[in-house]
Amino acid sequence: MPPSTSSDLTLSVNGEKYTLTVDHRTTLLDALRERLDLTGTKKGCDQGQCGACTVLVDGRRAVSCLQLAVAAEGREITTIEGVAEGDQLHPVQQAFLDLDGFQCGYCTPGQICSAIALIEEHAAGWPSAATDDIRPEAGPPPLTPEEIRERMSGNLCRCGAYVSIVQAVARAAESKGAAA
Ligand code: FES
Ligand code: FES
């Protein structure tokens, strides 16, 4: 018998379980958009270069165009559709709204997912390439615009909303006392 080219799997997305049969080559991005109709996550380059497809996998950011759906089974996936609490926007969403971090919106879902994880990574003390003192005892560096730019550098915005995006990420991080 030839080896099977598809599998049944259960994906946990935004707190809901979805059972589906996928070709083994199906990316998580295509499964979300085409099989689960969660089209908030965008396909930009489909090559891991633009960040438009960023989702959270077990709370960490992942470019879903580079991950196979079958590898996401058993993980908790959060897409842009799942970051608000009912009618209550996530603080990062609210900050983007208040500070005009949106433009065409194509990159925005990925920017917001990335920013949510960025704030957690920073609070947990993860350094970035822009961090001067990476000794663990130095603790998280101030979340300066330079730090935010470096940590968001995997997310491209071709219409140039970067200034507003940096301000929005800083605003959302302020509640943790992290922004400089
Ligand atoms: S679509 Fe995934 S990184 Fe561009
Ligand atoms: S808002 Fe248009 S590409 Fe970023």
Q: Which atom of ligand 1 is nearest to the CA of 42?
A: 1
Q: Which residue has the higher pLDDT, 33 or 1?
A: 33
Token reading at 15: 């707190």
**Percent of the chain beyond pLDDT 90?**
81
Q: What is the pLDDT of residue 157?
A: 84
- Give, for 61, the enclosing helix (H) or strand (E): strand 60-63
Cα–ligand 2 centroid distance for 113 (angstroms): 14
Q: What is the pLDDT of residue 176?
A: 61
Q: What is the pLDDT of residue 159?
A: 77
Task: Report the C-alpha gap between 26 and 14 in whole angstroms.
Answer: 20
Predicted model pTM: 0.91
Cα–ligand 1 centroid distance for 42 (angstroms): 8
pLDDT of residue 160 exceeding 80:
no
Task: Report the C-alpha gap between 122 and 120 in whole angstroms.
Answer: 5
Instruction: From 47, 55, 153, give the residue whose CB has the most ligand 1 atoms within 8 Å, as the site to mutate.
Output: 47
Question: What is the secondary structure of 156-175 as a DSSP string?
Answer: --TT--HHHHHHHHHHHHHT
Which of 73, 77, 82 has its CA nearest to residue 64? 77
Q: What is the pLDDT of residue 104?
A: 73
Cα–ligand 2 centroid distance for 6 (angstroms): 35
Q: What is the pLDDT of residue 177?
A: 56
Mean pLDDT computed over every residue of the chain: 92
Quick check: CB of 158 below 6 Å from ligand 2? yes
The three-state (H, E, C) secondary structure of 68-135, written as one string: EHHHHCCCEEECHHHCCECCECCHHHHHHHHCCCCCCCCCHHHHHHHHHHHHHHHHCCCCCCCCCCCC
